[in-house]
Structure 1
Amino acid sequence: MNADNGVRVHVLKVGAVIEETADARTLVFEVPEELTERFRYRPGQFLTLRVPSARTGSVARCYSLCSSPLCDDRIAVTVKRTAGGYASNLICDTVAVGDLITVLEPAGAFGPRDLDADVLLCAAGSGITPILSILKSMLVGGSGNVAVLYANRDRESVIFADTLDSWARRFPERLQVLHWLESERGVPTADALTDLVRRYRDREWFLCGPAGFMAVTEAAAAGLRVPRVHTEEYRSLQQNPFDQPVRATPARPLGDTAVVEVEIDGETHVLDWPKQTPLLDVLLDNGIDAPYVCRESACGTCVCSVKDGRTRMRQNEALIDDEIALGLTLACQTLPESPRVHIAFDQ
């Protein structure tokens, strides 16, 4: 079903709940046959779950898919309990097989464009979730070499420990897993990580984890002059996509608009584009079912290509410089800079 605001909302049944560690649970979902196409996904993407709340009605939380579209029959997300985290604790404590959970369709732009590339995948804690999806997909569907740097407090907190060992045994020539345990080596520093991963400096890096880990890993990457670094950050959404109000578009002078030609879902639309209104809002106001989740530039779900014309983004947290140079932009943040613009949602 579709929400009134254009967000594609579905209800899925929980087919299995797997206890990964004392603080982490994997939820495996059953996708009805009629929704198979709607739930096709790329490695590294996430699901947004609606979590009931007595105070606000619901909260929305994004959890990365740990499953791979190339080798897993069912989609799955892993949720790690966080101190004081309402949603994660509720999910870990109460969700059971047979429960129905409201979700948005898979979204996000974190993940490799080339499964044959050589990569370094860096994770800490629950950041391993999208990394595992990428790892499995690249080993099964590609030919490149994969190295994983995985930081945790101690051995008991390592999510997917047995799974990682199994994949390393299956692909001994292509997969290397480097564990960093704070109980044995202390908190990772940029200098220490630099020494550990120096041999992978020419690879493409993908990072996911808490802010502190991300900061020291990005510092190591900068010191090693790593050519391309992609990051995925976990944070709470400021707006609830399950409960977005219908927007009313105020009238604007004709001279304050551009014209945009948009290719999306096999159709082409020509629309007036007010110069101070983000592209995503223009599309939704015109009843066009554009992809989005956070509307805050962080998730990358609304990425699209500028084929002709000039645009600018108000802010950007999802795209790297190389992607922007290729013409990619975020619809939720993009404003027109020329009288006519041609946009394509072809990612």
Structure 2
Amino acid sequence: MTTDSYLLTVTEVIEETEDARSIVFEVPPELTDTFAYVPGQFLTVAVPSERTGLVARCYSLSSTPHSGRHQITVKRTVDGYASNWLHANLRAGDTLRVLPPSGIFSPKDLDDDFLLFAGGSGITPVMSIARSALEKGSGQVVLFYANRDERSVIFAGALQELAARYADRLVVVHWLESVQGLPSAAQLKAFAAHFTTYTAFVCGPAPFMKAVTDSLKELDFPRARRHQEKFVSLGGNPFGEVEEVLAAQAVLDEVDDGDEEGDEPGAAVVTGPVTVEVELDGEQHTFDDWAGDKPLLEFLEDKGLDAPFSCREGQCSACACMVLEGEVTMRNNEVLDAEDLADGIRLACQSMPASEKLRITYSG
């Protein structure tokens, strides 16, 4: 299935730190609604590749929706092909193929009190949430930001300005490994213990997120007030057969014209007609003809529903839904943990029916 993607012009490349750059896109007026987003969401970007035409990567928006700005922030990693390519090659005036905003790492109410944890480049979506809450909400915002050293702090100047402007609502705590060492679980728990009524958002390296999340669980933060973002490098191509991919494939076909048989999709537990009740965007839909021959996401799209998605590979959480009744099996899952699964959260792009009736919601 082909996904609608768009060539956007880069208007600015901002050097945030030695290893982090922000990329600002121009979104033409006719795409304003298509690229509308909420704080904490991400863009999926096609980075040029000589072998495959492109590689897909998800980068969080560090800008705010109300600013009318579409800015992602990319931290270069030693072995990261995409981040290194963007840092070395991208300039103002260039174009990149981009999918519309997606993701579920977003607050439901900007008037909440927020406890935000960010590690390294995990500040990117957290910055969007913090700015939005301060500029459009009314609650308190506490940010715990961990970095290797002072030179690694992305948005240091912007955070200083926000702290001065919202001195009565924003508290920023910088934790530097070069000074304090890595934050321990006990230290994180002691810090969070002062804000147990707040809504928590956590983003950063996996060990950091686990330590924070474990601390929040020990403090009895309910699941509804614990949110965690995960970075995953996409292995598939969510852009479809765009010209970059077709050109690369033509080159490969000249080298190897042999036929290859792909793996058949895993068989669904239930193959007869399945009834599906779906709550999406506040509306209820009922269908009684899911044959189990395609994933839930594709079935809903065939029915004309604008169900959220990004990678279609089970490698991001953009298509996550909650199964309230019935069962599904997932072909692939690289982002949901045991607690997510226990709560009934599933990836619609990978879900096949395992019962004759399903009741699903996207409202979380």
TM-score band by shorter chain is 0.7 to 0.9
| Residue in 1 that maps onto 2:23 | 27
Cα distance in 2 for partners of 1:287, 1:110 equals 25
Task: Give the drift of 1:270.
Answer: 3.6
1:178 maps to: 173
* Residue of structure 2 in register with 1:157 after alignment: 152
Shift of 1:311: 3.7
**Equivalent position of 2:234 in the other structure:** 237
Asked if the contact 1:311/1:334 (under 8 Å) is kept, the reply is: no
CA 1:249 to 1:24, structure 2 compared with 1: closer, same or farther past 3 Å?
closer
Match of 1:280 in 2: 297
* Residues 298, 117 of structure 1: alpha-carbon distance in 2 compared, 3 angstrom cutoff: farther
Note if 1:67 corresponds to 2:67. Answer: no
How has the CA–CA distance of structure 1 residues 100 and 199 changed in structure 2, closer, same or farther, with 3 Å as cutoff?
Answer: same
Give, in whole Å, the separation in 1 of the partners of 2:218 and 2:70: 37
Displacement of 1:201: 2.6
Structure 1 residues 166 and 278: CA distance shift in structure 2, 3 A:
same
Paired position in structure 2 for 1:310: 326
Is the Cα contact below 8 Å between 2:46 and 2:97 reproduced in 1?
Answer: yes
The offset of 1:197, in angstroms, is 2.8
Question: Which amino acid in 2 is paired with 1:300?
Answer: S
Residues 96-147 of structure 1, C-alpha deviations (whole Å, 9 max, x = no match):
0010100000000001111111111100111000000000111111111110
Name 1:38's counterpart in structure 2.
Answer: 34
Distance 2:14 2:146 in 1: 22
Q: Which amino acid aligns with 1:229?
A: R
Answer whether contact 1:21 1:157 (CA < 8 A) is retained: yes
Using the TM superposition, give the Cα deviation of residue 213 of structure 1 relative to its aligned residue in structure 2, in angstroms.
1.1
Cα distance change on mapping 1:116 and 1:95 into 2, 3 Å: same
The aligned counterpart of 2:8 is: 12
Per the alignment, residue 250 of structure 2 pairs with: none
Confirm or deny: 8 A CA contact 1:297 1:318 kept in the other structure. no
Structure 1 residue 262: deviation in Å? 5.4
**Please, which of 131, 135, 139 is the counterpart of residue 130 of structure 2?**
135
Does residue 1:258 correspond to 2:254, yes or no?
A: no
User: 2:349 corresponds to which residue?
Assistant: 332
SS state at 2:311 partner: coil
Query: Bigger CA drift: 184-193 or 173-182?
Result: 184-193
CA distance in 1 between counterparts of 2:60 and 2:323 reads 28
Q: Distance in 2 between matches of 1:34 and 1:191?
A: 51
Length-normalised TM-score, structure 1: 0.86
For each residue in 1:183-227, what CA deviation from the matched residue of structure 2 results, as whole angstroms up to 9, or x when unmatched? 100112111222233212332211101112112212222222222
When the two chains are superposed, the root-mean-square deviation of aligned CA atoms in Å is 3.3
Distance in structure 1 (CA, Å) of the matches to 2:13 and 2:266: 47
Unaligned 5+ runs, structure 2: 246-261
SS at match of 2:134: helix
Cross-structure match for 1:48: 44
Question: 1:196: which partner in 2?
Answer: 191
- What are the superposed Cα offsets for residues 26-84 of structure 1, whole Å, 9 maximum, x if unpaired? 001100000000000010000000001112221000000000012x2321000000011
Match of 2:110 in 1: 115
Contact kept in structure 2, 1:15 and 1:97, CA below 8 Å: yes
CA pair 254-45 structure 1, distance change in 2 beyond 3 A: closer
Matched, 1:207 2:202: yes
- Matched residue SS, 2:37: coil
Change in CA separation of 1:316 and 1:83 when aligned onto 2, cut-off 3 Å: closer
Quick check: 188-197 or 60-69, which moved more?
A: 188-197
- Number of residues of Structure 1 aligned to a counterpart in Structure 2: 340
Q: Structure 2 length normalisation: TM-score?
A: 0.82
For 2:263 and 2:104, how far apart are their aligned partners in 1? 26
For the Cα contact (< 8 Å) 1:7–1:289, is it kept in 2?
no
Distance 1:133 1:251 in 2: 41
Contact 1:6 1:284 in 2 (8 A): no
- Relative to structure 1, the CA distance from residue 112 to residue 94 in structure 2 (aligned partners, 3 Å threshold; closer, same or farther) is same
